[in-house]
Amino acid sequence: MEHCAAIDRVLSWREDLDAGEIYCLWGQFEVRRELIRDGVRFTLPGCPNALAWTVTAEPDGILVYCTINRTEYDPVFIESIKMFVDDWRIGLERLGLPRLGALRSA
């Protein structure tokens, strides 16, 4: 999570559970990490919008993909999601990873 400026701090982390608590631009949340094919998925199970994001390796670079469980949403919240995903992109690029995409929503 140190690769995303929108995550201010990791408050706790349990490697054995792949879960912990973070403080981010939306407040304090439980976060879970799941290894998936060619990447990792993070979820905020207590988030009212069920925010989840994945970071995956594609042939041309890294893809950061973020979703919420709402069809109607506040445009300000969507802008904050775009900023969150962009912060991940910037952090991963600093590691020297090539960029593929910054945001796709479903």
- Whether 9 has a pLDDT exceeding 90, the answer reads yes
CA dihedral (76, 42, 45, 104) positive or negative = positive
Dump pLDDT digits (tens) for 42-75: 999 999 999 999 999 877 778 899 999 998 889 9
> What pLDDT does 100 receive?
54
The number of beta carbons lying within 10 Å of the beta carbon of residue 65 is 18
pLDDT in tens, 69-79: 998 889 999 99
Q: Is the Cβ–Cβ distance between 13 and 30 less than 8 Å?
A: no
**pLDDT value at 1 more than 70:** no
> By percentage, how much of the chain surpasses pLDDT 70?
89
